[in-house]
Chain A
Amino acid sequence: AQKITQTQPGMFVQEKEAVTLDCTYDTSDPSYGLFWYKQPSSGEMIFLIYQGSYDQQNATEGRYSLNFQKARKSANLVISASQLGDSAMYFCAMREGIANAGKSTFGDGTTLTVKP
């Protein structure tokens, strides 16, 4: 079974609107971390936001927030007030156990297109 599932290959959003990118995960380890990265067409993956499995509150970083629903094993990324520069590929990733984030498992990604 896939450890990280991103069911939306592509998403469209109107500029200035909010968009939610889905991510579900599968792990039996009680300690894990969830990451979201953005990959523009330039190729560089950019860290956006992190949520630890024991964190009580949903993570937020500027216009990015993570809707963490532990019982449902979902970690959806919410981007508020979309901008044209948000058009990119978005990856959800999970680190299990106390291993370093570099051993994260990545999902297949979602391509987001922001329309003017």
Chain B
Amino acid sequence: ETGVTQTPRHLVMGMTNKKSLKCEQHLGHNAMYWYKQSAKKPLELMFVYSLEERVENNSVPSRFSPECPNSSHLFLHLHTLQPEDSALYLCASSQDYGRTGSEKLFFGSGTQLSVL
């Protein structure tokens, strides 16, 4: 199995829908992240979870709601999104959070989200 798995790979939703993105890591890592990658914009950090506790929330609108039920799973619940939310959503993990500065991130393949 690949290290970080994201489902679905593609998602099309209307502005009134509710959907969830799922991320699972098989690396035994303690930290998990959600990133947003929009066209023509740098990668944006959205949320960080360390040992299942949210440690970062970078001014993300409340229509994005993360959930981390255990150290291996991370969800991003989507509700009443806007067309500008269309982007590639990447999940990542790292061994720890805040212990060293050299820890590399392991990314999933992302969910390509289109909001109509």
Residues of A at under 8 Å CB distance from B?
A: 4, 31-33, 35, 37, 42-47, 50, 52, 91, 93, 95, 97-109
How many chain B residues touch the partner (CB < 8 A)?
A: 30
- Name the residue of chain A whose CB is nearest to the CB of B3: A44
- Interface residues, chain B, CB within 8 Å of chain A? 4, 31, 33, 40-43, 45, 48, 56, 88, 90, 92, 94, 96-110, 112
Interface core residue of A44, A104, A107 (most chain B CB under 10 Å): A44
Q: A4-B42, A43-B109, A44-B109 are in contact. Are A101 and B56 (CB under 8 A)?
A: no
Task: Give the residue of A4, A32, A44, A102 whose beta carbon is less than 8 angstroms from that of B94.
Answer: A102
Q: A43-B88, A47-B104, A47-B105 are in contact. Are A100 and B42 (CB under 8 A)?
A: no
A101 near B102: Cβ-Cβ < 8 Å: yes
Q: How far is the CA of A50 from the CA of B48 in the complex (A)?
A: 21
Contact between chains at B92 and A45 (CB < 8 Å): yes
Q: Which of A37, A91, A100 contacts B103 (CB 8 A)?
A: A100
**Which applies to chain B's interface (DSSP): helix, strand, loop or mixed?**
loop
Decide: B98 and A45 in contact? CB cutoff 8 A: no
Complex contact B106–A100 (CB within 8 A): no
Given A100-B31, A102-B31, A102-B92, A95-B110 contact (CB < 8 Å): no
Number of A-B residue pairs at CB separation under 8 A? 77
B107/A44 in contact, CB under 8 A: yes
| A47-B105, A100-B101 known; A107+B31 contact, CB < 8 A | no
18 residue pairs bridging A and B, Cβ less than 8 Å apart: A35-B104, A42-B109, A43-B112, A44-B107, A44-B109, A45-B92, A52-B101, A52-B102, A91-B43, A99-B101, A100-B101, A100-B103, A101-B105, A102-B56, A102-B97, A108-B41, A108-B42, A109-B42
* Shortest Cβ distance from B33 into A: residue: A102
Report A-chain residues with C-beta under 8 Å of the C-beta of B31.
100, 102
Question: What residues on A are CB-neighbors of B92 within 8 Å?
Answer: 45, 102
Task: State whether B103 touches A101 (Cβ < 8 A).
Answer: yes
B6 nearest CB across to chain A (Å)? 9
CB neighbours of A101 from chain B (8 A): 94, 101-105
